[in-house]
């Protein structure tokens, strides 16, 4: 019960703004129940006065009134149900948007911990389960309670003694619901977890289809899906079996009640204490009473099933963003691009070892600072701190002398552009993919950026040119081409500070060279921090920083560091002194001619 209370405490506030509609829905339900009560009483009158007496003149009055009451009930029922669906969907819309907004602000390690399919399930199935509890559940409970009270009162009004005799069996319904609720909740929780696991397996397998096919992993993937699907089947069958058991048990209790009413009725009629019309009306009230009582019992089950969804959603909502907007942000200013790390140390949440220790360096406008080092040394971590995915555990990072923690997040990310290791593609056309660098950019500006990124020619050679559709994981462009689209996006962003994380990773030598020229254009006049293993641009760098196990072990120019014969010299060993000066290949020449 405390879980239900907790779920309400958290999600009920989301109905703010719609509560007047909830009240209107309940009013519709009350009017419908009243109309139904009136119809039954009119039916009794018709039976006793018109049917039994065979009098047509006694028929018209009650018949007309019954028709009017039925029409009113239908209209109000239609209004109430339409309103209920609209309000419920608005709640789902608001809740899903809120959870999605929250998820979007969560740090990278959250997404490493949660499988995508599971998150999808939480944003769809679990969100709807909460609606079932908070909106439909509340409306359903209030409606069922009102209806139950009306029909009970009507039955008591007709024959209080008979009514009390049949009510004795009512607690059986609630007892049954109580008995089943715990087990139904566990089954529903298992079903949701399994649902998420199935989505995850499908998504992961299809997203990795090349690996699956190339390494003949189809059978393994099928087995993985089969395992999850069987877990889902078991949970789903168990849930359905329990619900069905409950339903059938309730049917038996209902039959028991009906038989009791008929038995008592026959006795009363034979003793001349009741008319047939009254008995039929009484039986109808008792019959109408079952669905609301039954619904009240079932609502208990819905509630327990929904708490499973609420717990899963709470897990997401309780995850905290790693960074927040500053409480007192500095006013925006024309950023020059002075970046400084002051004794920065950083440990990932839930990690025991620091990934960066006492890192200090500066980079100024127009400078290229290359950060290199062995794999796992902490280079990408440095880029995550500079773009404020995380804040340092110790020390500070400043932009033009202002601590990043005082800079509004959106403004920071407008001025510090990141080109991450994996080329990121949005679902949309090439034009939209470039334009997301600066929303609102004109077609001319987009094409100009593409020209500078040496992307214009290959884009216009595509059948649909700039309107070619791209989607994550399915882009029909080469790695080098995608990287140049990303460079065009960064060109358009025109941020004073650039963070390039392995801009040539995954590209072969030719593609890498094709990217170098646009990269140089992109970096011109900006503060660039390039994280890379590829030292072909090292001779151009104003400073090279060598990171090893989280520490800055060397800093200097290419020549200075080579002369020192230390860590950098070992990293650069296989390379000639100035690889960047090699004459262009045939493909490079083609690119330069574009």
Report the interface residues with ligand ATP, using CB under 6 A.
109, 112, 348, 351, 355, 373, 375-381
Least separation in angstroms between CB 337 and ligand ATP: 23
Least separation in angstroms between CB 501 and ligand ATP: 8
Residue 163 or 363: the one with the smaller Cβ distance to ligand ATP is: 363
Residue 66 or 348: the one with the smaller Cβ distance to ligand ATP is: 348
Least separation in angstroms between CB 395 and ligand ATP: 16
Give the Cα separation of 215 and 193 in Å (integer).
29
Give the Cα separation of 523 and 500 in Å (integer).
10
Least separation in angstroms between CB 355 and ligand ATP: 4
Least separation in angstroms between CB 376 and ligand ATP: 4
- For residues 344 and 416, the answer to whether their CB atoms sit within 8 Å is no
Residue 137 or 378: the one with the smaller Cβ distance to ligand ATP is: 378
Residue 380 or 405: the one with the smaller Cβ distance to ligand ATP is: 380
Give the Cα separation of 373 and 394 in Å (integer).
22
Provide the H-helix boundaries in 327-442: 379-386, 409-415, 430-435
Residue 241 or 533: the one with the smaller Cβ distance to ligand ATP is: 533
Least separation in angstroms between CB 316 and ligand ATP: 18
How distant is the alpha carbon of residue 242 from its chain centre?
Answer: 30
Q: If we measure between CA atoms, which residue out of 558, 309, 536 comes closest to residue 546?
A: 558
Residue 377 or 475: the one with the smaller Cβ distance to ligand ATP is: 377
Compute the Cα dihedral for 326, 328, 331, 337 and give only its sign.
Answer: negative
Neighbouring-strand partners of residue 529? 369, 499
User: Cα-Cα-Cα-Cα dihedral of 110, 115, 116, 122, to 10°?
Assistant: -90
Least separation in angstroms between CB 112 and ligand ATP: 5
Residue 5 or 113: the one with the smaller Cβ distance to ligand ATP is: 113
- Helix/strand/coil for 395: strand
Residue 108 or 171: the one with the smaller Cβ distance to ligand ATP is: 108
- For residues 129 and 309, the answer to whether their CB atoms sit within 8 Å is yes
Least separation in angstroms between CB 381 and ligand ATP: 3
- For residues 569 and 557, the answer to whether their CB atoms sit within 8 Å is no
Give the Cα separation of 471 and 433 in Å (integer).
10
- For residues 393 and 347, the answer to whether their CB atoms sit within 8 Å is yes
Give the Cα separation of 575 and 562 in Å (integer).
11
């Amino acid at each position: 019960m405390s879980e239900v209370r907790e779920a309400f405490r958290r999600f009920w506030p989301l109905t703010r703004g719609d509560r007047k509609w909830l009240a209107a829905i309940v009013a519709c339900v009350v009017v419908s129940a009243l109309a139904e009560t009136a119809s039954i009483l009119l039916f009794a009158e018709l039976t006793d006065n018109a049917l039994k007496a065979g009098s047509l003149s006694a028929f018209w009055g009650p018949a007309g009134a019954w028709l009017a009451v039925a029409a009113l009930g239908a209209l109000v029922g239609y209004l109430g149900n339409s309103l209920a669906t609209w309000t419920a969907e608005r709640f789902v819309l608001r809740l899903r948007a809120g959870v999605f907004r929250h998820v979007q602000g969560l740090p990278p390690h959250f997404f490493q911990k949660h499988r995508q399919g599971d998150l999808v399930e939480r944003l769809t199935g679990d969100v709807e389960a909460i609606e079932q509890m908070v909106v439909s559940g509340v409306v359903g409970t209030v409606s069922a309670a009102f209806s139950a009270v009306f029909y009970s009162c009507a039955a008591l009004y007709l024959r209080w003694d008979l009514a009390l005799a049949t009510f004795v069996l009512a607690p059986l319904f609630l007892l049954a619901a109580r008995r089943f609720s715990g087990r139904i909740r566990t089954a529903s929780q298992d079903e949701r977890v399994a649902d998420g696991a199935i989505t995850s397996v499908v998504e992961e397998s299809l997203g990795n289809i090349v690996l699956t096919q190339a390494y003949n992993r189809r059978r393994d993937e099928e087995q993985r899906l089969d395992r999850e699907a069987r877990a889902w089947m078991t949970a789903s069958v168990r849930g359905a079996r329990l619900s069905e058991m409950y339903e059938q048990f309730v049917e038996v209790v209902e039959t028991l009640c009906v038989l009791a009413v008929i038995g008592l009725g026959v006795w009363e009629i034979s003793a001349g204490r009741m008319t047939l019309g009254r008995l039929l009306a009484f039986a109808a009230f008792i019959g109408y009473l079952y669905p609301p009582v039954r619904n009240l019992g079932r609502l208990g089950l819905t509630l327990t099933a929904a708490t499973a969804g609420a717990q899963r959603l709470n897990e997401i909502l309780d995850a905290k963003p790693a960074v927040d907007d500053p409480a007192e942000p500095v006013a925006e200013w024309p950023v020059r691009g002075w970046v400084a790390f002051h004794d920065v140390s950083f440990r990932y949440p839930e990690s025991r070892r620091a990934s960066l220790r006492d890192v200090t360096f500066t980079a100024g406008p127009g400078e290229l600072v290359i950060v290199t080092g062995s794999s796992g040394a902490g280079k990408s971590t440095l880029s995550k701190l500079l773009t404020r995915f995380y804040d340092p555990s110790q020390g500070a990072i400043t932009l033009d002398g202002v601590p990043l923690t005082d800079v509004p997040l959106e403004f920071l990310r407008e001025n510090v552009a990141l080109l991450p290791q994996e080329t990121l593609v949005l679902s949309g056309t090439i034009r939209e993919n470039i334009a997301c660098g600066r929303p609102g950019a004109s077609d001319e500006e987009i094409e100009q950026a593409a020209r500078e990124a040496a992307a214009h020619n290959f884009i216009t050679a595509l059948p649909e040119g700039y309107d070619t559709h791209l989607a994550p994981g399915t882009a029909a462009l080469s790695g080098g081409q995608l990287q140049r689209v990303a460079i065009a996006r960064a060109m358009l962003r025109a941020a004073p500070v650039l963070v390039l994380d392995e801009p040539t990773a995954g590209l072969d030598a030719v593609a890498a060279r094709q990217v170098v020229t646009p990269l140089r254009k992109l970096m011109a006049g900006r503060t660039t921090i390039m994280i890379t293993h590829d030292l072909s641009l090292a001779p151009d760098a104003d400073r090279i920083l060598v990171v090893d196990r989280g520490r800055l072990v060397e800093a200097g120019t290419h020549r200075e560091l080579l002369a020192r014969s230390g860590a950098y010299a070992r990293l650069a060993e296989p390379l000639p002194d100035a690889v960047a000066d090699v004459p262009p290949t045939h493909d490079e020449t083609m690119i330069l001619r574009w």
